[in-house]
Amino acid sequence: MGNLWSVASAVRFLGAEALITTDTKEISSAKFLILPGVGSFRRAMQVIKQNSIDQAILQSLSQSENKLLGICLGMQLLGSASSEDGDTPGLGLIPNTVKKFTNTSDTRLKIPHVGFSEVKHGANTKLFSGIPNESCFYFVHSYFMELTPTINGVATCHHGADFVAAFEQGQVSGTQFHPEKSQSMGLNLLKNFLES
């Protein structure tokens, strides 16, 4: 859903092979999976379930060396549920939930959150290896993943409140921002993922 070609182009620019597919055999045997996405959480989950992509992802992750990166909506889909279009269960790979930005505390807050924003990260994350703390990445979203103490390697961004900008949890990682649209810092992050 959405930003498939720009992600594939960034991966190819880094010298890796990129295959855009819904073929469950290809997905279940892939060493590196990227789940990008723009649009509706509910609709994306319907497509994933209808095509058994959820099962193929789990099959790939059953191999301990395989990795998954969710981008934007793709990161949100890795969580347990979203309030978008009514409560919709996600893939449940991490326990965090997704909710909509509200501007109740600051009426000047623009929704959706669009543009380059600073991301704060810890020094011990593979995704951000060699990337200075508080580097800027490109965001475009109205929903965000809530911060909880239940996942590791969390990077944060602030838009009215702090939210999960990225995370690393074992084989599964996610970025709310679009690394493929975040210039050199985004390409460095994708390179780190592909070399992890």
Q: So which residues are the catalytic ones?
A: 72, 178, 180
Q: Is 29 helix (H, G, I), strand (E, B) or coil?
A: helix
193 within 8 A of 69, measured Cβ to Cβ: yes
Asked whether 186 and 127 are in contact (CB, 8 A), the reply is no
| CA dihedral for 121, 116, 109, 165, sign (positive or negative) | negative
* Contact assessment for residue 98 and residue 84, using Cβ atoms and an 8 Å cutoff: yes
Q: Are 110 and 160 in contact (CB under 8 A)?
A: no
State both tokens at 195: 């070399």
User: CB count, 10 Å around CB of 116?
Assistant: 15
Give the N- to C-terminal CA distance of the chain in Å, as an integer: 25
Cα(186)–Cα(122) distance, integer angstroms: 17
Instruction: List, in sequence order, the alpha helices (H) in the chain.
Output: 4-13, 24-29, 41-50, 53-61, 73-77, 183-194
